[in-house]
Structure 1
Amino acid sequence: MRTCWFVGLTTLDVVHRAAGRPGRDEKVTATRQDVAAGGPAANAAVTAAALGARAVLVTALGSSPVAQAARADLESCGVEVHDVVAGEDFPFAVSAVLVDDATGERSVVSADAALAEAPAPAFLADLPAPDVVLFDGHHPVIARAAVGHLETRTPRPQVLLDAGRWRPLFAELLPVADVAAVSARFTVPGYDDVTTGAHALGAGGVVVTHGGGPVEWSGPDGVGTVDVPAVEARDTLGAGDAFHGALAVTLADGAALPAACAAANEVAATRVAHVGPREWLAEVRAAMPSAERP
């Protein structure tokens, strides 16, 4: 079984689906509500677990009721949760999410990891050896400790970045990245072109997503694009995270970058075609060969 680490943010997402966004000083009635763990690293780990990988999440939760609700959800999805502040009173972020029923587009308000600085983990040497390690740019102290630990592993695992928005930590992570998966809105300070900037800072491969448009890839084997399956977008919450989780698993399988992008596109398309944060996972599991199902 391939093993993937996911290093970064976990939140608790409170998701409301409504016919439209409220205006200023206005309320709207939701047609559906869900509560589930969120955050880029956590969502990617959920995807990897659904694809049959051993998904190891290194994050900061703490002892609050909302943190424990997030842990319970993740563990029910097959994610192995390793909390750097286990048992401590740590300020855990709750995200308010609105999904537009007409378009499937989501709006998110969250404190992310800005409420407190999480400490370095002391347990990394005890975790199973990873094939791929994903970083999402949150919790810098945890990330730096994980990068340092990876340098002690022989062979060193592949490093994958989930880079949706520029964070200062990416200046440290891009030089060690085997693949940087960035959104079209991502910018590298000092560079007009995101692919050029990511390569200049050291990323070996670069993947640029454009929502429903073709995914661009660039690496040692050349450059190209991979089409995205055409589906009706019913819920885009976590679509990028699903892409990154699937990308981690397929890279761990040894796939070349174009093939990994194609597989990740299929998984992300499945995500956006389903309403709700977890219902889509059943289709992903069902599509796997029976011998590989978690």
Structure 2
Amino acid sequence: MKSQKITVIGSINMDIVTKSSIIPKVGETVMGDSFFTIPGGKGANQAVAAARLGADVTLIGCVGEDAFGKELTEHLGKQGIMIDNVKPVTHSSTGIASITLSDGDNSIIVVPGANYEVTPEVVKEHEHIIEESDVVLLQLEIPLESVIEAVNLAKKHHKTVILNPAPIQPLPKELLQQVDYLTPNEHEQQLLLSANDLIDEELEQIKTKCIVTQGSKGVTIYKNEEKLISGFKVEAIDTTGAGDSFNGALAVSLSNGASLEDACQFANAVGALSVTKLGAQSGMPTIQEVEAFLSAQRG
């Protein structure tokens, strides 16, 4: 079967991870248990998730001309991702995320760095790649005007667009109306639908695009009626990247022609498996692992 083409436009970070039994309060120093540097960034995470599931994935983004940038680009290439459009820039450092893990949960500070060099002009340079895509997958760790440009180009060429509205920020209603699927969590959905310039009809239209992630509970969709697509119970080791795993899997399943419900169930399984291992990208499952997991759940 022909691999579907998914273009991810977004962030590439190095995750700097500290594991501790205690998250320090302001002004407090505690002893940590361990320290890691792990490839991350929402764009890169979602690209890896999709590639592990067998899709033909192109990533458009920027890194710094530094050690992290070189390491991340090489790593992404080894994941089977097309990296010809990952641009090194001299005037910004590679983006980083400082992550503290404690009791299976996390807190994160992101420094965008070179991710903010993914300008609308950079997006325009890659219109031909968007035109050749089946699905375009976006997040909000690059400039908003670049996300808007990417959506405009994708809709110009009649492509399916998935927008993961995280980290959450105010979004113009024109952008919300153009995308095909929005994948907020519950908090992000509340903020999206509280925009003051949305009339009731517009609110309802945007709500039907929402696939609201709810952790282990699963996701709620509103396409025809409100419906919960249940999640899977697993032992969580590290929740970092679970949402990115879900989004990459959703893009793959929808591009393969699955119904929205089936795509969400598949993506729930991928998200569940991703939290059973340490690290955002290192925990992302292969298509074989997902199929075996779903088979065991049914049996």
TM bracket (short chain): 0.7 to 0.9
CA distance in 2, matches of 1:198, 1:264: 27
1:257 maps to what in 2? 260
CA distance in 2, matches of 1:108, 1:256: 34
Deviation of 1:84 after TM superposition, in Å, equals 6.5
Which of 222, 226, 235 pairs up with 1:218? 222
What are the residue-to-residue correspondences of 1:179-190 with 2, within 5 Å?
179-186=181-188, 187-188=191-192, 190=194
1:51 maps to what in 2? 53
2:296 maps to what in 1? none
Moved more, 3-12 or 244-253: 3-12
Note closer, same or farther for the CA distance 1:27–1:82 as it changes in structure 2 (3 Å cut). Answer: farther
Assess if the C-alpha contact under 8 Å between 1:175 and 1:203 holds in 2: no
Deviation of 1:148 after TM superposition, in Å, equals 3.1
CA distance in 2, matches of 1:204, 1:82: 36
Note closer, same or farther for the CA distance 1:7–1:199 as it changes in structure 2 (3 Å cut). Answer: farther
Which of 80, 83, 101 pairs up with 2:82? 80
Deviation of 1:39 after TM superposition, in Å, equals 1.7
Note closer, same or farther for the CA distance 1:201–1:280 as it changes in structure 2 (3 Å cut). Answer: same
Displacement over 6 Å in runs of 4+: none
Deviation of 1:3 after TM superposition, in Å, equals 1.0
Deviation of 1:90 after TM superposition, in Å, equals 2.5
CA distance in 2, matches of 1:239, 1:16: 18
2:297 maps to what in 1? none
Q: How much is the aligned-residue C-alpha RMSD, in angstroms?
A: 2.9
CA distance in 2, matches of 1:216, 1:166: 18
CA distance in 2, matches of 1:198, 1:73: 42
Query: Residue 6 of structure 1: SS of its match in structure 2?
Result: strand
CA offsets 1:155-178 (integer angstroms, 9 cap, x no match): x12111112343234544311111
Letter of the structure 2 residue corresponding to residue 239 of structure 1: A
CA offsets 1:77-110 (integer angstroms, 9 cap, x no match): 222235464343224321111111xx21011011
Note closer, same or farther for the CA distance 1:178–1:12 as it changes in structure 2 (3 Å cut). Answer: same
2:278 maps to what in 1? 275
Query: Residue 286 of structure 2: SS of its match in structure 1?
Result: helix
Which of 145, 148, 151 pairs up with 2:149? 145
Note closer, same or farther for the CA distance 1:254–1:204 as it changes in structure 2 (3 Å cut). Answer: farther
- Percent of residue pairs bearing the same amino acid type: 25
Which of 211, 232, 237 pairs up with 2:235? 232
CA distance in 2, matches of 1:53, 1:170: 31
CA offsets 1:106-157 (integer angstroms, 9 cap, x no match): 110112369845322213315671111111023234323322322442xx12
Deviation of 1:31 after TM superposition, in Å, equals 3.0
CA distance in 1, matches of 2:291, 2:219: 26
Query: Residue 163 of structure 1: SS of its match in structure 2?
Result: coil
Assess if the C-alpha contact under 8 Å between 1:8 and 1:139 holds in 2: no
Letter of the structure 1 residue corresponding to residue 100 of structure 2: L
Query: Residue 59 of structure 1: SS of its match in structure 2?
Result: strand
2:24 maps to what in 1? 22
CA offsets 1:4-46 (integer angstroms, 9 cap, x no match): 1111222111112222212333333433332222221211111
Assess if the C-alpha contact under 8 Å between 1:177 and 1:204 holds in 2: no
CA distance in 2, matches of 1:243, 1:197: 29
Assess if the C-alpha contact under 8 Å between 2:131 and 2:159 holds in 1: no
Which of 130, 134, 143 pairs up with 2:133? 130
Assess if the C-alpha contact under 8 Å between 1:9 and 1:39 holds in 2: yes
What are the residue-to-residue correspondences of 1:41-120 with 2, within 5 Å?
41-83=43-85, 85-100=87-102, 103-112=103-112, 116-119=116-119, 120=121
CA distance in 2, matches of 1:141, 1:54: 26
CA distance in 2, matches of 1:113, 1:182: 24
Deviation of 1:201 after TM superposition, in Å, equals 6.3
Deviation of 1:263 after TM superposition, in Å, equals 0.4
CA offsets 1:217-260 (integer angstroms, 9 cap, x no match): 011x4331111101111100111111111111111111111111
Aligned residues: 282
CA distance in 1, matches of 2:65, 2:201: 40
CA offsets 1:169-202 (integer angstroms, 9 cap, x no match): 454431111111111111126369xxx8985464
2:295 maps to what in 1? none
